[in-house]
Chains A and B, each alone.
Chain A
Amino acid sequence: MLVPARTLFLLMILSGLPALASAQSSTLTGASRSMNPAISVNGLIRGQTSRENPTGDLNGFKLDGVELQFISVVDPFWKANFNIGMHPAHAHDGEEDGHDEGMVVHVEEGYIDGQSLPGGLGLRVGKFALPFGKHAPLHMHQFPFSDAPVVIAAFIGDHIFSDTGALGTVTVPVPWYADFRIYGVNGDTMPFDAHNKNLVGGGRLTNLWDMTEDSTLELSGSYLHGPDARHPGENKSVDMYGADLTWKWVSSARTRGPALHMTVEAVLPDYEEGEGDPWGWYGLVQYRFHRNWWAGLAAGQADAGLDHHEEVPGHEDHDHGLEGDLREYKVNFTFVPSEFSSLRAEMVYYQDKVTMEDDLRFIVQANFTIGSHPAHLY
């Protein structure tokens, strides 16, 4: 009598055969808890009022995002980092709309880093944050304000800019600190045409000078090239240029003493097919005025660069992305009682200079981390 495969499988489970097979292929270290990865969870909770509430879902409280992170050395050759993000659906990413309070799960990052490459070279393989500018590679809990600047949201995306491929890093032999990163990725994320098989390529040159013991100046340039999501299937490309300048000062004489961070970043997309000269920028200042308190100010712009707001003839079905001239002004105060939690109160004013539509929002946001979360890069 023939035994159906499903029955056989059930019998195997009941007899414990899989466990036996697993034990035979396991190693001693595989059973040791000391080899567990560092695990952490970060949560963002937001309360918001919007005067205009343009999408109808902006008022109220919501779980703004959850990030689950695993980091561990794999073996003498690789170190791995996995970051699973859950956040309300983003309609612009082709996700289900957020009206049903549904959450979308993303592997925000999942990569391995080479640990023993010759010549101090770095190699990262997997899905990783693309090094384009200062803000785009940030996880949501690292944002200096509750939302991404309009220029980043309009041209790149409003959460971490990550994609799958490979990235190489080399330290440039100059008297100051400089590194060059070059990458090739699939182009599965905004602003790229995910159905186009052409790879996205890009690079970033970072220069950083220690101005004094307490202050640094960073001047960096970024570039990428890939298929344009606004023209799916048409093999049109976009070149994206970015430049950013950051000055940081942190008093070294006192623990949690005064600190001042200033950043200016500009992004210029150059679409193979498209009207206007789109560009945008933001600038922000953060000041630690008390041991546990920061104040922040920011302004920004994302301009489609069109002379007037109208459909491009023959391309009515296309998603043109940004079409107006958005401005933003933000102010916030953040209370940071420990390294693992913060509470933020923020006021934001948005205006579209073309349509003259505007909105005023008040936001409160709680940010907390549990578990073994690594410090962030400088």
Chain B
Amino acid sequence: MLNINSNRSAGRAATVRMCVFAALIVLSLTVSGQAVAKVKVVATLADLAWIAEQVGGDDVEVSFLCKGHRDPHFLPAKPSLARKLKKADLLVYNGLELEIGWLPLLLDAARNPRIRPGQQGELNCALALGEGEILEVPVGEVDRSQGDIHPLGNPHYLLDPRKGIAVGRLMADRLARIDPAAADRYRSRAEHLAREIESRMEDWEAQVDSLAVKKVIVYHQHWEYLVEWLGLEILGVIENRPGISPAPRHVEGLIELGRLQGPVLVIAATWDHIEAAGRVAEKTGSALVVLPGSTYATEEAAGYLDMFEVICGKLETAEETAEETGAEGGS
């Protein structure tokens, strides 16, 4: 009997030990799981995704909806994109109604209350812009005779790297609220990103400052922030009413203006109607510069900073072509 009891005691002890061991494993897995739980960030645009990756580092998991080579005005609201939003802890979007055609649909389809408007998990990055920093805010009555105009102003502010710095800081603040344990890391990374952008900006500004050709004709009102930052001047817009194919009379007038005030550079994004922009360039004796309108729009634009590297490099190269073409046209 004693032996039997002794065996029973030993058995119970072994069972208890196993239970404790199992509990410890479960506990350690839980704790380690919590330690590696990352904030799931979904960005609408590639630029915002890149900034979120820099600010979030290893503390976040970033995906984005609109690939860099797509025109962000016209993203098809595919259900697979709503699926990405379904598990998001934080949605970061451009705002100023750039995504108005597709983001509300995706938000409804995602049925994720964490990222609904007004929630902590919803971040309109246009809030990073200070008073007066939003360009082309319509004055007076707005209607669709002016095309698919943005009533809140030009939304393409991410083409000014200074705005990228502000957006990085805004993201850091929001991530710090969602994940307070890593707040210092987010803010530190945002400052590091700001310093990196500022150091590169000097080179880019100097590169464009040396250009002799400062006037540009753009296909869409996509480049206003870039032009303002770099001190260029927009002579005209080919697609003068956003989202509407330009009327031939308008294009002829623009060509005439380009001829009179040239040499100019004609700028289009990779997704624009390149042929139409090319015709304007050809008839004004200007160079056509097809630029990445977003991070990842081309292979070379493999990051937000690389995008500016490519843009400034292409403007510099194009100017040489423009001067040569202009000289040939003049002779």
Contact = CB atoms under 8 A, between A and B. Distances in A.
Contacts of A115: 111, 113, 116
A338 B243 CA distance: 7
A252 B273 contact: no
B73 interface: yes
A375 B73 contact: no
A18 interface: no
B271 A378 contact: no
A104 interface: no
A208 interface: yes
Taking each of B77, B83, B272, B274, which has the highest tally of chain A beta carbons within 10 Å of its own beta carbon? B83
Contacts, number: 84
Interface in B128-142: none
B322 to A, nearest CB: 25
A194 B137 CA distance: 53
B68 to A, nearest CB: 10
B78 A255 contact: no
Contacts of B74: 255-256
Interface in B84-110: 86, 101-102, 104-105, 108-110
Interface in A108-127: 113, 115-117, 120-122
A256 B74 CA distance: 8
Interface in B119-171: 144, 147-148
Contacts of A169: 111
A320 interface: no
A122 B111 contact: yes
Nearest to B244: A338
Nearest to A292: B245
B268 to A, nearest CB: 10
Contacts of B116: 115-116
A63 interface: no
B71 interface: yes
B79 A253 contact: no
A139 to B, nearest CB: 15
Nearest to A119: B111
Contacts of B112: 120
Interface of B: 67, 69-71, 73-74, 76-80, 82-83, 86, 101-102, 104-105, 108-113, 116-117, 144, 147-148, 243-245, 270-274
7 contacts: A79-B108, A120-B86, A169-B111, A177-B82, A254-B272, A374-B104, A377-B77
